[in-house]
């Protein structure tokens, strides 16, 4: 899936969670100085930024299918090699990287098994392939309350619970299908504080991802109904939102 939205819109919507997640994910993947890293589906660069801080720009490569995100990373992180492309067809030679990561990407891949297999192909023996996906299939993802409110108003809404890798154990199954040996699963959690309901709600109106697309397609009456239901379900501000992701790491 290609996100045809401005990088700043993504930052305001998912970036408020993906930014804090990036450091936790890099820790889980064992990112350390001296490694060569590939960020697959880099988006506007939340994880890429962490990799640059730890490894240096010259040791980081990033790829994403969305032109606005590619341009944003090039502008924000000079010195990083950033290319346009998909996970299923990585334009790199075998054994090019020590660690290959996909943060919040597998569930949007057209073919997750092929994408993970490609990640393994470009990773050198002894290296690491790691991926994480929000727990959309459970009740602890950053969008869980939003989709709960949507279902209360519109029981036929599809939501994101069925996306690949978003339920417990499915990332491991996808890695095994891709030929990765002994993938280990963990759960990563970050907490974000919101000072007002509007601070939480407004980014849903920016058209980012499936949730943003859903809101954009609503008429005013239904949009107001979803908004009101979300506000009723959330505690009075300020409030914290804890968001969990399933993580998998496999040695190559």
Mean pLDDT of 186-204: 98
Written as one string, the DSSP assignment of the chain is ----S-HHHHHHHTHHHHHHHHHHHHHHHT--TT--EEEET-TTSHHHHHHHHHH-GGGEEEEES-HHHHHHHHHHSTT-EEEE--GGG--S-TT-EEEEEEES-GGG-SSHHHHHHHHHHTEEEEEEEEEEEE-TTTT-STTHHHHHHHHHH-TT---STTSTT-STTHHHHHHHHTT-SS-EEEEEEEEEEESSHHHHHGGGGG--HHHHHHHHTS-HHHHHHHHHHHHHHSPSSSEEEEEEEEEEEEE-
pTM: predicted TM-score of the whole model, two decimal places: 0.95
pLDDT surpasses 50 at 196: yes
Query: For the chain, what are the domain ranges?
Result: 7-142+160-193+242-251
pLDDT, one tens digit per residue, over 26-85 is 999 999 999 999 999 999 999 999 999 999 999 999 999 999 999 999 999 999 999 999
pLDDT, one tens digit per residue, over 68-98 is 999 999 999 999 999 999 999 999 999 999 9
Is 7-142+160-193+242-251 CATH 3.40.50.150?
Answer: yes
């Amino acid at each position: 899936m290609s996100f045809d939205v401005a990088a700043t819109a993504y930052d305001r919507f998912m970036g408020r969670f993906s930014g804090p997640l990036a450091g936790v994910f890099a820790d889980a993947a064992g990112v350390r100085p001296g490694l060569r890293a590939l960020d697959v589906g880099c988006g506007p660069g939340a994880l890429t930024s962490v990799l640059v801080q730890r490894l240096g720009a010259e040791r980081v490569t990033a790829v994403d299918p969305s032109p606005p995100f590619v341009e944003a990373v090039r502008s924000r992180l000079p010195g990083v090699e950033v290319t346009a492309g998909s996970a299923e067809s990585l334009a790199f030679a075998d054994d090019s990287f020590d660690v290959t990561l996909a943060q919040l990407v597998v569930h949007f891949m057209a073919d997750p098994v092929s994408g993970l297999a490609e990640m393994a192909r470009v990773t050198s023996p002894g290296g690491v392939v790691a991926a994480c996906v929000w727990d959309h299939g459970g009740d602890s993802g950053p969008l869980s309350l939003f989709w709960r409110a949507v279902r209360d108003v519109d029981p036929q809404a599809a939501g994101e619970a069925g996306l690949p890798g978003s339920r417990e154990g499915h990332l491991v199954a996808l890695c095994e299908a891709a030929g990765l040996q002994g993938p280990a699963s963990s759960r990563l959690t970050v907490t974000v504080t919101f000072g007002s309901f509007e601070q939480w709600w407004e980014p849903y109106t920016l058209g980012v991802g499936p949730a943003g697309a859903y809101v954009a397609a609503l008429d005013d009456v239904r949009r107001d109904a979803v908004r009101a239901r979300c506000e009723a379900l959330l505690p009075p501000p300020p409030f914290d939102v804890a968001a969990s992701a399933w993580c998998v790491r496999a040695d190559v």
